[in-house]
Amino acid sequence: MVYRYSRDPVEMVREQFDVEPDKWQAQALRLYPKCPKLAMKACTGPGKTAVLAWIGWNFMLCRPHPMIGCASITGDNLKTGLWTELSRWYTRSKLLQNLFEKTGDRIYMKEFPDTWRLEARRWSQSADKEAIGNALAGLHAKYVMWLLDETGDYPDAVMPTCEAIFSGEPIEAHIIQAGNPTKRGGPLFRAWARRNEPGRQWEVISITADPDDPNRTPRVSIEHARAQIAEYGIDNPWVRVKIFGEFPDTDFNALISEDEVRAAFNRYYRLPPGPRILGVDIADYGDDQSVIFARAGLQAMPAKKYRHVNSIDGASLVSRAWGDFPGVGGVADACFLDASGGYGAGWRDQLLQIGRAPIGIQFGGSAHDKRQFHNKRAEMHWDAVEWIKRGGALCDSEELVKSLTQTNYTMRNDVILLEPKIDVKAKIGFSPDESDAFVLTFAEPVVPRGQIQHAPLHRVQEFEPFKEAEHVVGRDYNPFRG
């Protein structure tokens, strides 16, 4: 059985996991034993991480005393992605459960725990080349493998360290990488860019969800793919990545780094000058939260979050914060309310009835600076992160860290385009309601009430239509004088 599985890993997946691999998955499984280096460039959701897990289990089961390292772009991503997939298929196979033991960061043969194992490897997001090398070093054996997930965002320093497994004259060594083509650089891009070169080192499998491609992955519905294309456009960079599995024309960039956001947590202004502004994001459905975010100049206050709040109660909460501004007191100078999708209409109507006049903001509406920003959402986010970089003070919030640092942007025709909210939500595992409320406080320029100055009134002079003619005739001129 082990010999049969080593020759055809598809058979192992069918028999041990009771799964029929998709066409491209079967191709990858049968190709890996023949390829020292295999890359999978994929759209979103085709099951690439499952293939990495299947290959890992096949190598563990069918090679003597193997050593396998697993990595992903972050430790959290490894835990929720590849390590979860390895655990899922482990629980589906009695054979694997009988032979192997699994812990939080290690899988090993019960009989040979020190020489027959698979282990998780991680590095810090701020790690330099040397730190990454230290995190990945030390993987040596006669049968050795690296499983690298989400390599579309890997730094270049990762691959040279992983390639060290070929230096010890192993009997069999492999590097298997998979990821979305999010960056025109790094290990995945370089494998793809050199795929047609003579003597190429990497075999590359491309997986697409293109609704018109007969070889598309069946795990992404055609309806979803067509809806994304219709909503964002076929040339949208995120559509190219998420649906077509192609590299964008320009790189994606994070709006702001984690270090910059956390630095804002360590700042505090006791009597912050500047306008007092409320940003209100209203939950549209399910478990999303309604959030009231208050900001006074350079000082932000703790966000107030509510679930399942109706328009009457919601308007009351906003009105209370409006009349007694959180953390500072006094009356708010402005309130911006999310008007996207019509979910905020009830809150706005209730606020108007009690004498408050919030300003509705459409996230998909036009930016003030159309030459620089694709829409209002991009402009508000940009202004918000610039405020942080200028010295803005935030209250400690892991939700803000994840939602701001995991929101990417790209340039198209010199215009800043923000990653769709649905993709951000899928990455971070929750709706970025708090960050939406935060950026709403940058929707429009606001002047504090005490600084508003009215222009002085001027005496209106009597209009004399024939005054200029007097310079010509040399006397008072009125053609209608009798």
| 253/293: higher pLDDT | 293
**Residue 407: pLDDT over 60:** yes
pLDDT tens for residues 352-381?
999 999 999 999 999 999 999 999 999 999
Q: Which CATH number fits domain 254-451: 3.40.50.300, 3.40.50.720, 3.30.420.240, 3.20.20.80?
A: 3.30.420.240
**Residue 479: pLDDT over 90:** no
Integer Cα distance of 174 and 162 in angstroms = 10
Please tell me the least confidently modeled range out of 240-244, 267-271, 472-476.
Answer: 472-476
In the chain, pLDDT over 70 holds for what percent of residues? 91
Q: What is the mean pLDDT of residues 450-458?
A: 56
pLDDT tens for residues 149-198?
999 988 888 899 999 999 888 999 999 999 999 888 899 999 998 887 77
| 469/158: higher pLDDT | 158
Q: What is the mean pLDDT of residues 322-339?
A: 92
Q: What is the mean pLDDT of residues 28-48?
A: 96
Integer Cα distance of 165 and 177 in angstroms = 15
**Residue 23: pLDDT over 60:** yes
Tokens standing for 407?
Answer: 């929101």
Question: What is the per-residue pLDDT for 343?
Answer: 77
Q: pTM (2 decimals)?
A: 0.73
Beta bridge pairs of residue 109: 100
Tell me if 61 sits within 8 A of 5, measured CB to CB. yes
Query: Which pLDDT band holds residue 127 (cuts at 50, 70, 90)?
Result: low
Question: What is the per-residue pLDDT for 341?
Answer: 77
Q: What is the mean pLDDT of residues 219-233?
A: 93
User: Domain ranges in the chain?
Assistant: 2-242, 254-451
**321 residue type, one letter:** A
Q: What's domain 2-242's superfamily in CATH?
A: P-loop containing nucleotide triphosphate hydrolases (3.40.50.300)
Question: What is the per-residue pLDDT for 464?
Answer: 59
Question: What is the per-residue pLDDT for 457?
Answer: 52
Tokens standing for 396?
Answer: 């400690």
